[in-house]
Amino acid sequence: MNIGTMVLGAVVILMGLYFVVARIKFPNKLKKYSAMRKKMGDKTAFFVHTFFYSAVPFVLGALMIIAASKGVSVIEFFKN
């Protein structure tokens, strides 16, 4: 088990969770999300922001934790 990769995976998941909560509770504080809403409209901006700032970090973090449990380091994870 690789602790560094596991911690980094957990941090990435927490970042995704932060953006989910922040987008719901105070969307005006997220500058990039506000700019996206002005340019793309509410529905498209919501989808794009949810995908890239929440879904991708959740998946990446989960994959990192799975890799860490198999002993893979961060460098090896991104190398392959």
Are 18 and 57 spatial neighbours (Cβ–Cβ below 8 Å)?
A: no
**For residue range 20-33, what is the model confidence (pLDDT) as tens digits?**
999 999 988 989 99
Average pLDDT over residues 3-16: 95
pTM equals 0.85
pLDDT for residue 69? 93
pLDDT of residue 78: 83
Q: What are phi and psi of 36, to 5 degrees?
A: -65, -40
Average pLDDT over residues 51-76: 93
